[in-house]
Structure 1
Amino acid sequence: MTGWRVSPEGVQQVLTGVDAAATSIATALTGLSDQLSAAVAGTRSAEVAEAMQAFVEAQTADLTLIEQRIPSARQAVIDATNAVTAGDLEMATTTQALAASAWTPDAGAFVRHGGSVPY
């Protein structure tokens, strides 16, 4: 790989997908408690109720972390994309300025050589 190529439009498209997935996760987690309660009630088993409660308690911390990290990760992607884009613009501006200053045409040389410059 010779360098980075970032397409802000492509990044936006991916983030739109992330937003949709995050919304789906939040919706699923919101309804999970009611569905688990209904499942436990349907079994009428104290052992199943205890097992389900233990499972939910064990997974809640991880699911909460995932849900909390999505906005932070999303913002990090936006910040990185903005930094790369700004860097690209700065490099392009610097390169253009250096190229423009590397050679200044000498109109007098054209006249001194009878209309052709021997470069």
Structure 2
Amino acid sequence: MTGWDISPTGVQSVISNVREAADGMNAGIGLYGRSVQGAMGAAGTLSFGGEGVGAGAAGLVAVALGKFVAGTETDVAFLPLRASNSANGAVEATNAYVSGSLEQAWNAQRQATLPPDVTAFLEAARKKADEKADGKS
């Protein structure tokens, strides 16, 4: 733990760049989600027994897109979550370093290298979305 030479202003500059990039990722992910929803809606439906288009189930393309999104959801959520955890860990480690607590700085740095719990993040996001849809928040 000895020999650290951290420049708080340098860390602040890098964190600013990381957060800006994470904001861009989040915007891109939002656009991706809206685009997939639009594509799924435009993909048409399957008709059964000569019934009209409105009486069918989701079309094969829409089903395939839904399965693709479900299969890549964890990977897509990982990127901005990882960036955020790393940035927050760097800030915590720098603050601890500045206050003279090298052990706390080391612990914050170590915690920041751990992979984020994407499953818990997605569950919380789904719960929040459900509550919003139900008008509870």
Question: What TM-score range do you get, normalising by the shorter chain?
Answer: 0.5 to 0.7
**1:66-100 CA distances to partner (integer Å, 9 max, x unpaired)?**
44444433222111111222229xxxxxxxxxxxx
Alignment of 1:42-53 (within 5 A): 44=44, 46-53=59-66
Give 1:38 shift.
Answer: 3.0
- Whole-Å Cα distance in 2 between the matches of residues 63 and 42 of structure 1? 23
Q: Identify the residue that residue 17 of structure 2 maps to in structure 1.
A: 17
- Whole-Å Cα distance in 2 between the matches of residues 25 and 66 of structure 1? 8
Alignment of 1:20-39 (within 5 A): 20-39=20-39
Which one-letter code corresponds to 1:52 in the other structure? L
Alignment of 1:56-67 (within 5 A): 56-67=69-80
- Whole-Å Cα distance in 2 between the matches of residues 37 and 80 of structure 1? 40
Identity %: 29
Q: Identify the residue that residue 8 of structure 1 maps to in structure 2.
A: 8
Give 1:22 shift.
Answer: 1.3
Q: Equivalent of 2:68, from 40, 55, 80?
A: 55
Give 1:43 shift.
Answer: 5.1
Q: Identify the residue that residue 98 of structure 2 maps to in structure 1.
A: 85
Max Rg structure: 1
Which one-letter code corresponds to 2:16 in the other structure? T
RMSD of aligned Cα (Å): 2.7
Structure with greater helix percent: 1
Q: Which has the higher contact order (CA 8 A, sep 6+)?
A: 1
Which one-letter code corresponds to 1:61 in the other structure? T
TM-score (norm 1): 0.57
For structure 2, list consecutive stretches of 5 or more residues without a partner in the other structure. 46-58, 102-137
For structure 1, list consecutive stretches of 5 or more residues without a partner in the other structure. 89-119
Higher mean displacement: 57-66 or 74-83: 57-66
- Whole-Å Cα distance in 2 between the matches of residues 15 and 51 of structure 1? 38
Q: Secondary structure at the match of 2:100?
A: helix
Count how many residue pairs are aligned between Structure 1 and Structure 2: 87
Q: Secondary structure at the match of 1:87?
A: coil
